Amino acid sequence: MNSKILKKTAQKAFLLLVLCAFKVHSQDAVQEENPQADVPKQKQVLTVTAPVHSYNLNPHTASYNSEAQILSGLFEGLFSYDPVTLEPQYAIAVSYKISRDSKRWTFTLREDALFSDGTPVTAESVKKSWLKLLRTPGAPYASLFDIIKGASDFRTGNGSEENVAIYDLDEHTLSIHLTTPASHLPRLLCMASFAVTGTEENVYSGPFVLSEINENQAVLEKNEHYYDKENTKLDRITFRFCDDADENAFAFNTGLSDWVSGAVNLSRTISKDAVHVTAEFATEYMFFKMRGNIWSNAEFRQALLEAAPWDSLRENTFVQASTLVYPIGNYPSVRGYSYTDGEEASSLMKIARRNAGIPDGELLEIVMAVTE
């Protein structure tokens, strides 16, 4: 499984578990003095406290976990995640079949799937969404579709849209031809990046629609055109954006927030049973913005990676991983950076300088973002 898929699996599971496992509280209920009078149905709402940053809610270009939590409610693809097992389950698709060589997949779509504006979700809608993903510059997960014939060439500007092997056979039948068998395809199609999007902005295929977003919060309301709205138990999900750990603890303690997924002062959390800590693993990695500067040269990057103090970076973590995908059962062992070699780093840097014609005494500038 690609590491990005693994991360996105956890992201998708987050929102699904919100819908299935966490308490909801009631608000806006009108209490009548006459107990025989009709009482309006209480709205079921969930409030999640999320980190503060600029949110990108375009499923094709979004990359943050916190964005995926929102996108999972707004957009849906052919498959979704089972909230308990995380195995793929049918969403907009109702069935599929695979050819004998495992390279042709044919999907049958639901006939009652609608976008939030009431227009039908069809095989053509899926095809247009996927082609739009492939032509979107900087789409972080588009390359995962390179398993489709013609997708890689089209995505990189070396092929045409007509050569991408995605076919809408009829209104509710979609077929794709792969370059190689891919048993992980249903899991891949659970990701928000491969969800079905409308041709217009603010049109959604998932159980919720975005009714409000600003620097303080994002509000999701139930999508009244969603095919399974009767089983969508929440009427509203509010994501409040706050990085103040003390304030978030107060909001959780007082019921203003049902779940804090960002910063929180655990020492001030009244209900210790509510605290859930996941296994922490340390995979320290560096990525470089290569814009014609010295770090575009792989020899300099290799020297820097050899010099990084990996042991000290990982010393306070539960699982001291040396690869981007941390050690898990039944996953291939991949060689990573497990130690620092100062002498080798120095030797590599001297070779890199000599090959680039840069004197030993000349300073090389690198700018890093530093966090906790």
Same-domain check for residues 200 and 307: no
Q: What is the mean pLDDT of residues 192-217?
A: 95
Say which range, 64-68, 192-196, 227-231, has the weakest mean pLDDT: 64-68
| pLDDT score of 290 | 74
Tokens of 336: 């990573």
Residue 340 forms part of a structural domain = yes
Residue 351 forms part of a structural domain = yes
Residue 329 forms part of a structural domain = yes
Identify the top-confidence range among 287-301, 303-317, 351-365.
351-365
The answer to whether residues 243 and 263 touch, using CB atoms and an 8 Å cutoff, is yes
Residue 372 forms part of a structural domain = no
The rounded mean pLDDT for the chain is: 85
> What domain count does the chain have?
2
Whole-prediction pTM: 0.71
Same-domain check for residues 194 and 300: no
Quote the percentage of the chain above a pLDDT of 70. 84
109 residue type, one letter: L
Same-domain check for residues 8 and 126: yes
Domain boundary among the residues 208, 230, 258 is at 208
**Measuring CA to CA, how many Å separate 70 from each of 67, 160, 182, 192, 333?**
5, 33, 28, 10, 33
210 residue type, one letter: L
Same-domain check for residues 165 and 292: no
Domain boundary among the residues 167, 185, 208 is at 208
Q: Is the pLDDT of residue 76 over 80?
A: yes
Query: What's the number of CA atoms in the CB half-sphere (13 Å) around residue 167?
Result: 11
Q: What is the mean pLDDT of residues 189-203?
A: 94
Residue 198 forms part of a structural domain = yes
**Measuring CA to CA, how many Å separate 347 from each of 15, 307, 339?**
48, 11, 16
pLDDT tens readout for residues 264-282: 888 888 887 887 766 666 6
pLDDT tens readout for residues 8-46: 444 444 444 443 433 333 333 333 445 455 556 677 999
Q: What is the mean pLDDT of residues 110-139?
A: 96
Q: What totals of helices (H) and strands (E) does the chain contain, helices first? A: 9, 14
Mutual angle of helices 298-307 and 342-356, in 10-degree steps: 160
Residue 255 forms part of a structural domain = no
Neighbour-count burial of 214, counting CB atoms closer than 10 A to its CB (0-12 exposed, 13-18 middle, 19+ buried)? exposed
Give the structural domain span for 336. 281-356
The answer to whether residues 53 and 300 touch, using CB atoms and an 8 Å cutoff, is no
Q: Look at residues 326, 354, 338, 337 and name the one whose alpha carbon lies nearest to residue 302.
A: 337
The answer to whether residues 42 and 29 touch, using CB atoms and an 8 Å cutoff, is yes
Tokens of 361: 């005494």
Say which range, 67-71, 166-170, 247-251, 290-294, has the weakest mean pLDDT: 290-294
Same-domain check for residues 202 and 295: no
Domain boundary among the residues 189, 208, 227 is at 208
Quote the percentage of the chain above a pLDDT of 90. 63
Same-domain check for residues 26 and 167: yes
Say which range, 60-74, 163-177, 277-291, has the weakest mean pLDDT: 277-291
Residue 177 forms part of a structural domain = yes
Same-domain check for residues 192 and 292: no
Same-domain check for residues 42 and 146: yes
Task: Give 49's strand partners.
Answer: 240, 260
| pLDDT score of 149 | 97
Same-domain check for residues 289 and 203: no
SS3 of residue 310 by DSSP: helix
Same-domain check for residues 152 and 297: no
Residue 63 forms part of a structural domain = yes
Same-domain check for residues 203 and 304: no
Q: Is the pLDDT of residue 307 over 70?
A: yes
| pLDDT score of 327 | 66
CATH number at residue 31: 3.90.76.10
